[in-house]
């Protein structure tokens, strides 16, 4: 199963580690520092020119990648849950 995270980007659900809301998580100094370091090291990919509403941490072949998505974390989590429900049928 795949999760559409915005633009033309879909990722395998098995690669998703976490989905976070940008606004509520970047209040933390540690989260801001984490994202800054990840950007400096080239782990972040912005999906759109729009302001990101969420970020998705993924891992493929033991390599981490963070996607900045214009889709809210709540919508992404609902999609994720919907896809998991379908796979259980």
* pLDDT, tens only, 1-55: 899 999 899 999 999 999 999 999 989 999 999 999 999 999 999 999 999 999 9
Q: Model-level pTM?
A: 0.86
Among 2, 26, 24, 28, CA closest to 13:
2
The Cα–Cα gap between 48 and 37 comes to 20
DSSP string over 31-61: HHHHHHHHHHTT-EEE--SSPP-EEEEEEET
Place 87 in a pLDDT band, splitting at 50, 70 and 90.
Answer: low
Domain that holds residue 33: 2-87
Q: Are 7 and 50 in contact (CB under 8 A)?
A: no
Enter the tokens of residue 35: 């994202």
Question: How many domains does one find in the chain?
Answer: 1
User: Does residue 82 have a pLDDT over 90?
Assistant: no
| Overall average pLDDT of the 49-67 stretch | 95
């Amino acid at each position: 199963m795949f999760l559409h995270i915005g633009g033309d980007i879909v990722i395998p659900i098995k690669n998703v580690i976490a989905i976070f809301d940008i606004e509520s998580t970047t209040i933390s100094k540690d989260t801001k520092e984490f994202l800054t370091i990840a950007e400096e090291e080239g782990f972040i990919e912005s999906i759109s020119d729009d302001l990101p509403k969420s970020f998705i941490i993924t891992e493929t072949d033991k390599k981490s990648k963070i996607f900045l998505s214009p889709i809210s974390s709540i919508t992404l989590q609902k999609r994720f849950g919907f896809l998991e429900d379908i796979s259980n049928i």
